[in-house]
Amino acid sequence: MTEPADTPTIDHAFTGDRRGPAHDPTYAGALSFMRRRYSKDVSGCDLVIWGVPFDLAVSNRPGTRFGPQALRRVSAIFDGDAQYPSRIDPFEHLSAVDYGDCLLPRSDLQGCAKAIEHQAAAIIATGAHLVTLGGDHFITLPLLRAHVARHGKLAVVQFDAHQDTWDDGVGAISHGTFMLEAVREDLIDVERSIQVGIRTVAPRDCGIEVLNAYEAHELGVAGVIERIKLRVGSVPAYLTFDIDALDPAFAPGTGTPVAGGFTAAEALRMVWAIRDLDFRGMDIVEVSPPYDHADATAIAGAAVAQHYIQALALKKAG
């Protein structure tokens, strides 16, 4: 029997509609992202959230395969109320589901890349906007392939401590080379792309604008926002947010932490301020729960995705 829409329920991830708030207690119920209903049927959806539990491309500490689980778990605190800073319930305006996780073939790295691309492409082909919970940063490369096949070449806005333009050989499966591979495959508009918060040295820039951490701190949040908007302009774009863009004080749970990054508040202000850019998809990557403390990293990562989803809802609402 179906309960009336205004009747409180539990396990909204199984019993709820694609729209509207959940009523689950924060401490109970099935844990989808922001309590969205689990479904493989994405027809008619504005938004699809899914996880890619992959960490076989890391160069330092593994553990990001557990990132999607952690991001879903901590996101339970968000749903059921109007969200900050938009002051709206995004799911009054967005038909959304949690698709679950990407099915990955074990022991076949190239097969994993193909699986991510093909499964993402099938979702994007329905017209839904795809938000991805990672996973290490390699997953952005097959995600870009899928998005570009649908939307054409994209500008990339990358928040990160690393440029990820090291060369491990053509076709390498590495979280430190995915941007170089994307440039080689002509997936991204390098003249409109920008990397923000960089505080390591890579061998090449690939024509992408690099706004390093010291420059970003000198500019301040408002200055960084202006630089991103100026660089990207009105072209279609993709947002990839590596949680190690944050200082380890705010995101200890990541594979390659680097001191000197943004605070969580600074990062969220930036993500919110660039909400009017023409983003066609996004991911939050490199959340590694085994190294987290009190869920600080997962909470920050879930908030990045939550802010992005609010922005989608505002656009949908007009």
Model confidence pLDDT, tens digit, residues 43-94: 999 999 999 999 998 988 999 999 999 999 999 999 778 999 999 999 999 9
Cβ atoms of 92 and 34 within 8 Å: the answer is no
Q: Kindly report whether the peptide bond that precedes residue 4 is cis, defined as omega within 30 degrees of 0.
A: no
* Selection from 248, 256, 259 nearest residue 214 by Cα: 259
Catalogue all structural domains in the chain, each as residue range(s) with its CATH number: 42-317 (3.40.800.10)
Report whether pLDDT(1) > 50: no
At residue 290, the 3 state secondary structure works out as helix
- Comparing 23 with 274, which gets the higher pLDDT? 274
Mean pLDDT of the residues in the chain: 94
Gap between the Cα atoms of 228 and 39, Å rounded:
35
Cβ atoms of 99 and 123 within 8 Å: the answer is yes
Annotated binding-site positions: 137, 160, 162, 164, 242, 244
- At 4, the pLDDT band (50, 70, 90 cuts) reads low
The per-residue pLDDT for 80 is 73
The per-residue pLDDT for 318 is 85
Cβ atoms of 121 and 158 within 8 Å: the answer is no
Report whether pLDDT(6) > 90: no
Report whether pLDDT(189) > 80: yes
Query: Global pTM?
Result: 0.95
Question: What φ, ψ does residue 225 adopt, rounded to 5°?
Answer: -60, -45
Please give the distance of CA 132 from its chain centroid, rounded to a whole number.
Answer: 5
Element (H, E) at 296: helix 296-317
Give 81's DSSP letter: S
Gap between the Cα atoms of 120 and 224, Å rounded:
31
Burial class (CB in 10 A: 0-12, 13-18, 19+), 20: middle
The per-residue pLDDT for 253 is 98
Model confidence pLDDT, tens digit, residues 87-142: 999 999 999 999 999 999 988 999 999 999 999 999 999 999 999 999 999 999 99
**Strand duo 155-159 + 237-242: pairing:** parallel
Average pLDDT, integer, range 177-182: 95
At CA 184, angle to CA 178 and CA 186, rounded to 5? 105
Q: Helix-strand-coil percent breakdown of the chain, rounded to 5?
A: 40, 15, 45
- Comparing 173 with 183, which gets the higher pLDDT? 183
- Comparing 290 with 20, which gets the higher pLDDT? 290
Cβ atoms of 240 and 157 within 8 Å: the answer is yes
Gap between the Cα atoms of 38 and 29, Å rounded:
13
Annotated binding-site positions for Mn(2+): 137, 160, 162, 164, 242, 244
Model confidence pLDDT, tens digit, residues 128-179: 999 999 999 999 999 999 999 999 999 999 999 999 998 988 878 888 899 9
- At 266, the pLDDT band (50, 70, 90 cuts) reads very high
Question: How crowded is residue 106: how many other Cβ atoms within 10 Å of its Cβ?
Answer: 8
Which residues does 301 contact at the CB level (< 8 Å), separation at least 6? 67, 70, 71, 133, 241, 243, 251, 284, 287
The per-residue pLDDT for 34 is 96
